[in-house]
Amino acid sequence: MPRACVRAFSQTSHSLLTRRRKANRIEIWTAAAEGNRLEMRHSKAIFGTVSMLAKIQPIGAKTDHLLIGTIRFQYLTVFWDPETQQLETSQQFYDASEKHMRESQSRDLCMVDPTGQYLVLELFEGILTLIKILKPRKGRGEYLDKPEQIRISELRVRASAFLYTETKQPKIAFLFEDGEGSNLRLSTYRLVDDKMQSSSFDPQKDRENDIGDLCPGASHLIPVPKGEGSQKRYIVRNERVIKAQLGGVIVVGETKMTYLDDESKAVVEFALDEATIFVAWERYDDLLYLLADLYHNLHILTIRVDGADVIGIDVRKLGQVTKANVMVNMGDGVFFIGSHESDSVIVRIDPDSEAMEPIQYMDNVAPILDFAVMDMGNREGETQANEYSSGQARLVTASGAFEGGSLRSVRSGVGLEDVGILADLEDIREVFSLHSNEEAPSDDALIVSLPTETRIFTFDAEGIIEEVDTFRGLALNRQTLLAMNLSKDLILQVTDAGAALLGPGPAFVAAQWLPPDGHLITAASANEGHVLLSTNGLTLVSLDIRQGLKEAAVQTLSNNDQVSCIHVPGQIQGIGIVGFWRSGSISILNLNNLEVIQSEDLRRKNDASIPRAIALTQVLPEAISGPSLFVAMEDGIVLTFNFNKTDYSLSGRKSVVLGTQQARFHVLPRDDGLFNVFATCEHPSLIYGSEGRIVYSAVTAQDAVCVCSFDSQAFPNSIVVATSNQLKISQIDTERRTHVSTLAMGETIRRIAYSPTERLFGIGSIKRKLFKGEEIVTCSFSLVEDVKLGGIGEPYVLGQEYGPELIECVIRADLPTKHGDFLPAERFIVGTSLIDEENTFLQANDVRGRIMVFAVDSNKTPHLVGQLLLKGACRKVAVLNGQIIAALTKTVVIFDYEETTEKSADFTKLATYRTSTCPIDLAIEKTETENIIAVADLMKSLSLLEYTPGSMGLPGQLTEVARHQQAFWATAVASIGENLFLETDQDGNLLVLRRNPEGVTLTDRKRLEVISEMNLGEMVNKIQTVNVEPTPNAMVAPKAFLATTEGSIYLFSLIVPSAQDLLMRLQTRITETIITLGCLDFNTYRSFMNTERETAEPFRFVDGELIERFLDVSEEVQKQICTGLGPSVEDVRNLVEELKRLH
C-alpha cells in the first residue's frame, strides 16, 4: 500500500525502488533477473509512522540516501550498505518546533532542489523548513545543516516545486489560494538572496512572478528542465513578442494546462477536451510527462516546441490502469504506479504508439472500509474449532475505492513453493509415488493417472527425470485408480478393469482379480491386508491381499443405494469405511465379511448432501487422541469425528466449510509418525495437528486437483501437485503466511455483513461513472456468495424513490416475525442518508435518512420487507433483543420491529438519547441484569447507555450510566468483555476503557477509566469482535480484529493476569537491547498522541510485533534480553512462538 515511493541508486549501481508499504515499514525492491518485474529485496520496520520519503545525494557520496520523516517530526537519513546488505542510518534529527501550528493543506512534503544543495520541508501552513545539504566532514557522517524555519505569506498552498535555474540561487514556485480562497494564483521566489542567505519571501520585493487566471481545480506543478542543444534557451533583446521558452513550470488543472516561463513571464495555455481531476505526475523525458487522474486513467502530456520556444501543450489519454498515488520512472519506458486505493502496477509505455502494457500487479488491501469474519467452522451450529489463525476462518474485507474497489478474502495458511514443473498434462485424475524395489531408499517413481492411460516418470539420485514405457508390469493402457507399495517387494495396482499384485519380475503378475463381465471398478482403497473396491457403484468387494487377492466378501447394495466413496485406513487393519449416495450416511465395515460395525447418518436439517471422500488417519499424537475421521460432503462441508479403535465408535462431530463443492483428501505422512491431510477444493487446506488440536490451514494451491507425497533423494520432503494443466513438484512452507484472493468489483464496497445461514454476504456499494464530464454516483445493496465471492441475484438499487441516497451501514440480524412459524428470521438491516436537497417531499417532511430491512428470496435476491423514514442520516444500526438501535445524526433511537408479513413490517419508537455531537459507532453489551449500549461519539469519545423497557404505560428510557470524559475523535468501538470496551480514534490511538459499576461514589460509577492506551499509527475503520476460547495455558485471549485505512489487520488480545508482568518486562528488555533504524524510541512511537494530549509511553499495552522480533535476533542477543528476566532463553523462545501462532 505505497503512499510514498522513490527510485534510488546504490553503490553497486543497482536501481532500488523504495516504498512505504505499511505505516511503519520501508521496503526496497529491485528489478528481477528476467524482465521488468520487481522483487522485494529488503524490508525494515521502524519505530515511527512514516509521513515522507525523499531521495538525496550528499556531496561526494557514491550512493543515494533516503530521507525518512515521521508524523512525530522525527527525521533520519539512511543508505544501502552493499556489504551488510542492510539499510544503515547516516543522520537523524528531531524538529522541536511549535506543534500547534496549522498543518499544510497537502500531506507532509519534502523537496530537494535540482542542484542538490537545499532541502525544503513543507509541514505547516505558512512555514517552510529549510535545510542546507553540506559536504560531510571527515570522521562525521552528518551532512544536513541545522533546520531553519522561514515564514511565507502564501498560506493555503496546494502544490510547490523547485524550478530549474542556471544560477546558484534555487527558485521555488507555489500554487496557492489567495486570502479569501476565491482565487488561485502562482508565485515564484528565489530561495536564497545574492549573499546566499535565506530569502525573506516578501511578496512585495521578493516575489518574481505572480499570475492568476488559473484553473480553479489546479492541483500540481511540473517543473520543466532547460533545453539542451537546439532547444537551449537564448535571449533576444527588445523582442516585440515575448515568447515562452523551456525551463518554466506547468500548472496542471482540471480544464486547462498553463505554462509559465518564469524568466520571460510569458504564459501558454491549453484547454483540455474533457475535464478530469489529475492526482499524480511523473517525468518521461524533458518534453513528455505522464499524468494520472482520479478515474484510473493515464495520460501523456507533450510540450510542443519550436527550437527552444514552447508553442503549445497536448494531452492524450493512454488508457485505464489504476488510481495512482505516486508514480516512478524506472527507465526504458517502464513506470511503477503505486496506489493506495487499488492494486499497484508496473507498466511499459510507448508514447509514440500510445501503447500501454501492464507488466506486474502488486496486491493492495488498503484501505479497508469494512470487513466480516466468515467462520469456516460451525456451519451447522455444532462444536466449533475456533481456529482463526490457521485459515479455518476467512476475513473478507471491503477494500479500495470506486474503480479500484474489491472484496478481498484474507486467510492465514501455509504456502507451496514450486521446485519444478515435470510436464504439461491436462485432465490428471490421480498421482501416486512408488519405490521401484525394496532396496530403493526413497520414492523414485511417479504414477500419473489419466482418463484413458497411465504414465510413469522415474527419478535418479541426481534428479534426472525420465518418462518410461514400462514399469514393473503396470498396466499403462487404463486409468489407474490406486497404486501402492506392499511388503515383500509387491506393488498393488487397481484399474477400472481389475486389480493386480505385481512382483519384481520377470512374470510380474503375482496375483490378479477381475470383475464380472459388464462390471467396472469405480472406486478402490487398500492397506497391507485388504483391498476394498466397488464395481458399477452397486457392489462392494473385499479382497484379501495376503491370500493373493482372494475374495473375502462380496455385497450387493439394496434399496437402490450406491457407493459414493470408499476408504481403507492404512494404520488400522480389518476395517473399511463406505459412503452412500441415497442415505447420505457412512458405514464402518468388517473387511473379512463386509458386515456393518457402525453407521453414522451425516445429514442435518433435511439437507441432501452426500459423502464424497473419506480419510481416517492419526493426525494428533496418540497420547492425546485416537485417529480422526474426515468426511468431505458434496456441498463443501468437511465433517470431523473422533474414532475409537476399540469399539469403532464415532464421537465429537465437528463441521468445517472448505468450499461449495466436495473436497478430495490426500493423506501425507510426517516424520514423527503422524499424518497430514491435504484437501483439494476451491480453497485448498492442509489439515494437521498442532497443540492438541486439529488445524485447517489455507494453502496457496488454488488450482490443485490432486497431490501425493514424494520423498526422493533429489527432492526430499516434497509433494507432487497436479493442476488442471500441469504436473509439478512442490514443498510446503514450514510457516503460515497471509494469503489474499481478490474479487474486483469496480465500485466502493462501503459496508459488508455475513449471513452464515444463507452462506452469503450482504454488501452496500457506491458506484461512480463519468459521463460526458459529469460524475454520476449510484448506491446499491447486493448479495455475494461466501466461497468464490461471486455476485448472485439482482442488486437493490437505491435512489429511485427519494433521489440520491448513500448507504451508511449494513448488518445482519435475527429479527422477530409475526407470520409463518413466528420464529426469528435472518434479515439484513441497511441504514442510509438521503442527500437530495431539492426533493420537495424530503424537505417538506424533514426526512434525511431511512432504515431498510431486507430478506433473501429463493433466487438469492434481496427484497425489501419494511422501511422507516428518519429525520436524520442513519450512521449505524445494531440489534438488542430483537429491537433495532439506530445512531442518527445527533440522536440514538430504539425502535421496536414487528414483521407482519413477508413484505411488510412496523416500526415503533421506544426511546431516544441526545448525543454530544454525532454518534459514529455502536456496540452492545448484554448481561443478565443490564442492556448496555456503547455509543462512540465523533468528538466526545464514549458514552454507555442503559435501556430500560417501558412498563405500566410509561415509555422506555435510554439513560447514560457512564462516560469517558476526555475529548477523543472516535472511529470505532467494541465490547471486549464484561464492562470492558475498546475504542479507536482518527489519530490511530487505541483505548481500553473500563466501567466500574461497583464504584464507591456516583462519580466513580459514571466515569470510564482508561486501563490501557497506545498509538497504533494507523486509523482503525472497523473493529470486529471474535469469540475464541483460549487453551488452558494460553497467555492471551483473542478478542477482536482491527482493520485500518492502511490495509492492516490486527488481532487484539487481552493478556491473562499471570502473564502481564512477564510480557511487559520482556517488551522493555527488547526495546533496550535491539537497535533499530534511526535509533527511534519505541515508547515515543507507541505513546498516545492527539491534539489534546501526548504521553511519554504506552500505558499497559504490549506490541506483539515487537515481541516477535525476539525470534529474529541472534542467540547472543536473546541471552542478553533474557538476563534478569526470569525464564530461560528456551522458555521465552517457546513463549514467543506460541504468541506468533495466533496469526
Q: What is the largest CA-CA distance in the chain?
A: 114
Q: How far is CA 830 from the centre of its chain?
A: 25
Quote the pLDDT of residue 894. Answer: 96
CA-closest candidate to residue 351, choices 303, 301, 312, 310: 301
pLDDT of residue 996: 93
Could you tell me what percentage of the chain is helix, strand and coil, using 3-state DSSP and rounding each to the nearest 5? 5, 50, 40
Is 383's pLDDT higher than 50? no
Residue 573 amino acid letter:
Q
- The model's pLDDT over 987-1024, given as tens digits with 9 standing for 90+, comes to 999 999 999 999 899 999 999 999 999 999 999 999 99
Question: Where in the chain are all domains bearing CATH 1.10.150.910?
Answer: 1056-1143
pLDDT at residue 599 is higher than 90:
yes
Give the pLDDT score at 507.
79
Q: pTM of the entire structure?
A: 0.81
CB contact at 8 A, 1070 and 1121: yes
pLDDT of residue 1130 exceeding 90, the answer is no
Distance CA 290, CA 334 (A): 11
Residues 150/201, Cβ–Cβ less than 8 Å: yes
pLDDT of 388 above 60: no
pLDDT in tens, 678-730: 999 877 888 888 767 787 887 877 788 999 999 999 899 899 999 988 899 99
Contact predicate 1128/1115, CB 8 Å: no
Overall average pLDDT of the 814-827 stretch: 89
The predicted structure's pLDDT at residue 13: 43
User: In angstroms, rounded to a whole number, what is the distance separating the alpha carbons of residues 641 and 646?
Assistant: 15
Look up cell 437530495; give the residue.
836
d(CA 1064, CA 1083): 12
Average pLDDT estimate for 518-532 = 94
Closest to 551 measured CA to CA, from 539, 569, 559: 539
DSSP for residue 164? P
pLDDT for res 31 = 81
pLDDT at 672: 85
Geometric angle at alpha carbon 8, from 3 and 10, rounded to 5°: 140
Half-sphere exposure of 589 (CA within 13 A, CB side): 27
**pLDDT for 171:** 94
> Cα separations (Å) of 963 from 301, 385, 1088?
56, 37, 20
Query: Is the pLDDT score of 308 beyond 80?
Result: yes
Single-letter amino acid, residue 1088: F
DSSP string, 1040-1102: EEEEETTS-EEEEEEEPHHHHHHHHHHHHHHHHH---GGG--HHHHHS-B-SS-B-SS-BS--
Query: What's the DSSP call for residue 965?
Result: -
Which residues neighbour 1067 within 8 Å (Cβ) at sequence distance 6 or greater?
Answer: 1102, 1103, 1106, 1107
Highest averaged pLDDT of the listed ranges 191-200, 366-375, 424-433, 1109-1118: 424-433
Single-letter code of the amino acid located at 444: D
Determine the distance from the C-alpha atom of residue 932 to the mean position of all C-alpha atoms in its chain, rounded to a whole number: 33
Dihedral angle of Cα 1029, 1032, 1033, 1038, to the nearest 10 degrees: 10
| DSSP SS3 for 886 | strand
With b for 16 or more beta-carbon neighbours within 10 A and e for fewer, the 787-806 pattern comes to: bebebbbebbebbeebebbb
Exposed, middle or buried: residue 924 (CB in 10 Å: 0-12, 13-18, 19+)? Answer: middle
Task: Examine the pLDDT at 595 and tell me if it is beyond 90.
Answer: yes
Pairing of strands 693-699, 406-423: parallel
With a pLDDT cut of 90, the percent of the chain lying above it is 55
pLDDT at residue 382 greater than cutoff 50: no
Q: What is the per-residue pLDDT for 953?
A: 75
Read off φ and ψ for residue 843, nearest 5 degrees. -70, -40
- Please provide the average confidence, as pLDDT, over all residues in the chain: 88
Between 670 and 391, residue with greater pLDDT: 670
Q: Quick one: pLDDT at residue 22?
A: 66
The cell numbers describing 714, all together, are: 533429489
Q: What is the pLDDT of residue 29?
A: 86
> CA 422 to CA 177: how far, in whole Å?
65
CATH of domain 1056-1143: 1.10.150.910
Q: What is the pLDDT of residue 381?
A: 40
Pairing mode, if any, of strands 904-914 and 805-815? Answer: unpaired
How many CA atoms within 13 Å lie on the side-chain side of 941? 20
- What percent of the chain shows pLDDT beyond 70? 93
Model confidence at 606, pLDDT cuts 50, 70, 90, reads low
* Contact call for residues 20 and 2 (beta carbons, < 8 A): yes
The neighbour count for residue 1030, using CB atoms within 10 Å, is: 15
- Cross-strand partners of 465: 459
Please write the tens of the pLDDT for every residue from 943-955: 999 998 888 778 8
Task: Give Cα separations from 673 to 138, 525, 576, 626 (angstroms).
Answer: 63, 21, 21, 13
Distance separating alpha carbons of residues 642 and 624, to the nearest angstrom: 11
Point out the least confidently predicted range of 37-41, 48-52, 590-594: 37-41
- What pLDDT sits at residue 386? 40
At the second CATH level, the architecture of 422-514+700-732 is 7 Propeller (2.130)
The predicted pLDDT at position 380 comes to: 45
Q: Mean of the pLDDT values across residues 145-152? A: 90
Tell me the residue type at 662.
Q
Q: Pull the grid cell for residue 437.
A: 524395489
Cα separation values, 973 from 74, 921, 1040, Å: 30, 6, 11
Q: Which pLDDT score, from 0 to 100, does residue 846 have?
A: 87
- Which pLDDT score, from 0 to 100, does residue 813 have? 94
What is the model's pLDDT at position 379? Answer: 42
The phi, psi pair for 845, rounded to 5°, reads -100, 5
- For residue 433, give the H/E element and its range: strand 430-434
Residue 246 has pLDDT above 50, yes or no: yes
C-alpha Rg value of the chain to the nearest Å: 34
For the chain, the straight-line distance linking the first and the last C-alpha, in angstroms and rounded, comes to: 20
Give residue 1076's pLDDT band: very low, low, confident or very high (50, 70, 90).
confident
425 burial via Cβ count (<10 Å: 0-12, 13-18, 19+): middle
What's the rounded Cα separation, in Å, for the pair 669 and 671? 7
CA distance linking residue 962 with residue 945, whole number of Å: 7
pLDDT attached to residue 1100: 94
Does the pLDDT of residue 581 top 80, yes or no? yes
The residue with cell 491435504 is 678
Give exposure, 539-555, as e/b (b: 16+ Cβ within 10 Å).
bbbbbbbeeebeebbeb
Min mean pLDDT across 228-232, 292-296, 685-689, 909-913 is at 228-232
Q: Does residue 229 sit in helix, strand or coil? A: helix
What is the mean pLDDT of the segment spanning 60-67? 85
pLDDT of residue 661: 82
Please, where in the chain does CATH 2.130.10.10 lie?
241-364, 422-514+700-732, 753-909
Buried b (16+ CB within 10 A) or exposed e, 987-1009: bbbbbbbbbebeeeeeeeebbbe
Nearest alpha-carbon partner for 414 in 726, 719, 786, 705: 719
Out of 324-333, 411-420, 461-470, 538-547, pick the least confident. 411-420
Task: Assess whether the previous peptide bond of 367 is cis (omega < 30° from 0).
Answer: yes
Domain 753-909 sits in CATH at 2.130.10.10
Residues 1097-1121 as b or e (16 or more Cβ within 10 Å = b): bbbebbbbebbebbeeeeeebbeeb
In this predicted structure, what is the pLDDT of residue 429? 93
Q: What is the pLDDT of residues 443-490, one digit of tens each?
A: 999 999 999 999 999 999 888 899 999 999 999 999 999 999 999 999
Would you list the DSSP string of 121-139? EEEETTEEEEEEBPPPPTT
Q: What is the pLDDT of residues 839-890, one digit of tens each?
A: 888 888 888 999 999 999 888 899 999 999 999 999 999 999 999 999 999 9
Please say whether the structural domain 241-364 has been given the CATH code 3.20.20.70: no
Q: Could you report the per-residue pLDDT of 7-18, keeping only the tens digit for each?
A: 766 554 445 566
Q: Answer whether 671's CB lies under 8 Å from 659's CB.
A: no
Secondary structure (3-state) at 1106: helix
Distance CA(275)–CA(772), nearest Å, equals 9
Quick check: 592 and 540 in contact, CB under 8 A?
no
